[in-house]
Amino acid sequence: MNSLRKLTAPAFIAALAIAFSGCASMPAENPRLAQLDDKLKTAYGDKYVAEYGQGDLTKAGASLAAARVAWRAGREDETQHEIAMTENHLVLGGIHGEQERVKAETIALKDRLDQIRLASRDAALRDANEKVEIYKSDAVIASAAIQNAQAAAQTAEDKNRVDAVVATAAIQNAQAATQSAEDKIAAMKLQLSVYDLKVTALGATLVLHDVMFDTDSAQLRSGSVDRLEPLISYLRAAPGTTVRIEGHTDDTGSVQHNNELSLDRANAVKRALMVSSTVTNTIDTFGSGQSKPIATNATASGREQNRRVEITLQ
Amino acid sequence: MTPFQRLSPLISGLLLSLAAVPAFAASAELNAQLGIARAQASIDLVSKENPAQTRDRSFTDAQQRLADARIAAEKNHDREALWLASEAELLADVTAGSAKLAGLQHTRAEVAHGIEILNAEIRK
């Protein structure tokens, strides 16, 4: 209602000014005044100027009416003054309207700016959240990797510990075996001290010399079996021991004869050992003839040493 | 009725008119001086608050009109002096309104520029 009232007065003045200009009985219109009529109409057509420059347009309308009256009365100075006032009121009304238009546009731009900032902030927030998720995922992966590494390290440590235990046990076993072997050898040495005993790569080897056989004979001399008694006792106590009996001769006679003789002598010793039903050891015999002399065959004592039976315990 | 009695109304009217002329002249002079004072105040306000606008055409016109008004007032052309003073005051108001409008347009341009910069940053 108020705005209607506000608009009524200037509109009335403008209409009055325009009505004066259209009266046929009046003198010819001043073209400058007609131009100002158009400008006033145009100004009222602008919503910002009409609303916020309303006071200026009212004054412009009044000045224009006064100019027209002065023009018709032939008062040129007053006409020019009122025209100048009309023009400047129109300019000021336009400025006031434009001020409000610019304010409205600025507010709209600020709203737009706020929206963009908000959208930008949301986008930044989304990016940040995505990065957080990625970092979380990386952290989970890294944590899993650390756990795997720790587990692997633990496994390796456990393995090393087990290996160390196994190695220690193996060392202990080896030491025990060594000790056992040494003990066995010591016991063997003690039991078989009557023999010429030596430790070779094949095992403990004892040597029975020619004195057990007659010359060129594979028949054990009487009483020779007694010499085997310590060995029989040992084998009875060590049934797992494998026995290797190898016969040897000097170079007297043919090679074939000596091979046969040496094997026969080995077998003779085997038979003597087997007489005792308590000996269950595995016994293998070999005849090497004159092929493995341990002394010169040029002397009688050398040939005596070469005529021998070697019994290896494995 | 004597001739004087017959003419007395006319003489009274004439005397009254003669008395009113100086009173009217004093009022017109006062109005002119008041108009000049108002115009001067408006121009001073623009100079103080918007010194950058003092080179505007409307402001120099206002100053010129005020100077002309003073000259007219000195010549006892009170009506003309009042017109010129009114025009000077209105031109000073136009200058002040233009200054305010320029400030608002500057603000609008800054906000628009801010939007351009922000959009450019977002596009990156």
ipTM score: 0.80
**Max CA distance (Å), chain B:** 108
**Are the Cβ atoms of B97 and A120 closer than 8 angstroms?**
no
pLDDT band for position A2 (cuts 50, 70, 90): very low
Lowest mean pLDDT, pick from A227-231, B1-5, B69-73, B109-113: B1-5
Rounded percentage of chain B residues whose pLDDT exceeds 90: 69
Residues 6+ apart with CB under 8 A from A80: none
If you measure CA to CA, which chain A residue comes closest to B95?
Answer: A92
Per-residue confidence band for B3, with pLDDT thresholds at 50, 70 and 90: low
End-to-end C-alpha distance for chain A, whole angstroms: 133
Judged by CB atoms closer than 8 Å, whether chains meet at A116 and B122 is answered as yes
A115 and B CB contact within 8 Å: no
Specify the residue for token string 């100004």: A43
Mutation choice for A interface testing from B89, B93, B117 by most A CBs within 10 A: B93
CATH topology of domain A184-313: 60s Ribosomal Protein L30; Chain: A; (3.30.1330)
Q: What is the mean pLDDT of residues A20-40?
A: 76
Does A113 contact B115 at a Cβ distance shorter than 8 Å?
yes
> How many CA atoms lie within 13 Å of A126's alpha carbon, on the beta-carbon side?
6
The whole-number average pLDDT for the span A234-254 is: 86
Which pLDDT belongs to residue A1?
A: 40
Residue type, B105: Q
pLDDT at B4 over 70: no
Domain limits, chain A: 2-113, 184-313
Residues of A in contact with B61 (CB under 8 A): none
Mean pLDDT (whole number) for B38-54: 95
Are A269 and A278 in contact by the 8 Å Cβ rule? The answer is no
Q: Report yes or no: A255 and A290 within 8 Å, Cβ to Cβ.
A: yes
- What's the token pair of residue A229? 């008694």
Q: Which of A84, A92, A110 sits opposite B111 (nearest CB)?
A: A110
What pLDDT band is residue A23 in, cutting at 50, 70 and 90? very low
The model's confidence at residue A229, banded by pLDDT at 50, 70 and 90, is confident
